[in-house]
Structure 1
């Protein structure tokens, strides 16, 4: 593993596949021009709309998303995580899928989100992800890259379940992907502190692409795509506008923190 720049992209995706992919390409281009070698796109990067529309268009969205990720990775010579898009399971449900692709356009790792967001919030929004999404049944993978390190996958609501990230760290992860479409209501109180907790307790970098702003109807996202170091320091925060958070991933910093705070070696309970 070497030192390199990573980018967490922040989007305002809408119920329009073509517009979303055009926005994503502009931001990937920006990240690549600024020197990023690893780029993360947020959950729902290619489509964020009504659940019925997502199901009706799922096959088209899935094919376009995979083709887009492979094309962008090759065009800009970067490794890209597509942080979440629907992959049809049957006519009524999809997997919320994260896909990691390298600069040759080769699929490296795939993860179906296991924790589904079924909540009623005081702001009037009700979310029932399980109505259209089938939960994955496998723990997320850790992909090992000689140049980029050990990359652990997750998606959004997973961030509230620390046991998933302990699984990733115990399987060698030194960078945790947390692509999200975190709600505006919960994000203001929980987003940053959860990301910092996952970084600190696992002494890992966290790369957290995000959705921001209004998507449709009452659906608003918190923003603040971020990159956080293993000590919990926020290295870059995209704020609330469409854009990119960029920071260095430094193996020496990782080694320093793990040497100073070897908490993973002090575990008592597995």
Structure 2
């Protein structure tokens, strides 16, 4: 059995990585003061900036990125596992990667995850996003073990828009993840409609905890995000939530024994069966390079 305290840091990142790193440092300190052993920050902790010139001026390789360096120093200073929900780092071909970093108590990177699914959508009221114009999508699902409490816990990774693709989370659950993560910068419009439903569904269908730190409020670049950082148990019950969009910290206790308990009650992962399906057509035709989840 592994019991530990997990914290979700809610931010309102702006266009200056140095200021965002200072905010991260302060809020992570609050989380540690509340007893957290694992702390997660939101998607794009390091910078939220629509101005492409300003954005690219701050873009650096991961090994030279000041926000990644600050996160590593924080993990080491507080002897915690720090999950930098994501930040933008330089990728080949003049693109950026929306990359999550899992950092151990020694300040070393345990693993990374690049956001796979790009938010290319046209919403109501003229709101439009084309992440694929800036970011190179990831190609691999990932899980990693962390030392917590008296044992270990296995985490699965996702970032924001990924949560609309259940096959990603299923692949990670089948690879042994008992805790799924989805740090995000969800728009207010989509968040009001879908945030709670999607996250609870991913937790329930995989009998996993779900931890999702979020950006919240009106940002310097004009975008508005939903907030509501949330922790959900494998039964779909909300354990803790920041009920709004203000920056802050929420801490909850995670008992990993709950995963086995729920999977014994509802063994849907074991009961799944292979089946034949018609080929996707029309709007559902697969995108170029689509990967098939195995298992």
Question: Normalising TM by the smaller chain, what interval?
Answer: over 0.9
Partners of 2:18 and 2:67 within 8 A in 1: no
* Matches of 2:192 and 2:100, distance apart in 1: 24
* 1:51–1:141 distance in 2 versus 1, CA, 3 Å: farther
Q: Does 1:143 align with 2:144?
A: yes
Q: Which structure has the larger Rg?
A: 2
Secondary structure in 1 aligned to 2:2?
Answer: coil
Selected match of 1:264 from 269, 284, 287: 269
Using the size of structure 1 for normalisation, the TM-score is: 0.95
* Matches of 1:130 and 1:72, distance apart in 2: 31
Q: Does 1:229 align with 2:233?
A: yes
Shift of 1:254: 1.9
Secondary structure in 2 aligned to 1:195?
Answer: helix
Q: Which residue of 1 aligns with 2:25?
A: 25
Q: What is the correspondence of 1:164-243 to structure 2 with a 5 Å cutoff?
A: 164-240=168-244, 241-243=246-248
* Matches of 2:260 and 2:189, distance apart in 1: 36
Matched residue count? 269
Partners of 1:159 and 1:198 within 8 A in 2: yes
Q: What is the correspondence of 1:25-174 to structure 2 with a 5 Å cutoff?
A: 25-52=25-52, 53-59=54-60, 63-90=65-92, 92-138=94-140, 140-147=141-148, 148-174=152-178
Partners of 1:123 and 1:185 within 8 A in 2: no
Selected match of 1:252 from 232, 254, 257: 257
Deviation digits for residues 206-238 of structure 1, max 9, x if unmatched? 110000001134300000000000000010111
Unaligned runs of 5+ in 2: 275-294
Runs of 4+ in 1 over 3 A off after TM superposition: none
* Matches of 1:146 and 1:11, distance apart in 2: 26
Secondary structure in 1 aligned to 2:65?
Answer: helix
Shift of 1:166: 0.4
Q: What is the RMSD computed on CA atoms of the aligned residues?
A: 1.5
* Matches of 1:188 and 1:143, distance apart in 2: 31
Partners of 1:43 and 1:156 within 8 A in 2: yes
* 1:112–1:60 distance in 2 versus 1, CA, 3 Å: closer
* Matches of 2:146 and 2:4, distance apart in 1: 13
Identify the range of structure 1 (44-53 vs 163-172) with the bigger mean alpha-carbon deviation: 44-53
Shift of 1:60: 7.4
Shift of 1:144: 1.6
Deviation digits for residues 112-134 of structure 1, max 9, x if unmatched? 11100011111332111111101
Q: Which residue of 1 aligns with 2:288?
A: none
* Matches of 1:23 and 1:172, distance apart in 2: 33
Shift of 1:63: 1.1
Q: Which residue of 1 aligns with 2:289?
A: none
Partners of 1:125 and 1:218 within 8 A in 2: no
* Matches of 1:60 and 1:263, distance apart in 2: 41
Secondary structure in 2 aligned to 1:216?
Answer: coil
Using the size of structure 2 for normalisation, the TM-score is: 0.88
Q: Which residue of 1 aligns with 2:13?
A: 13
Secondary structure in 2 aligned to 1:245?
Answer: strand
Shift of 1:252: 2.4
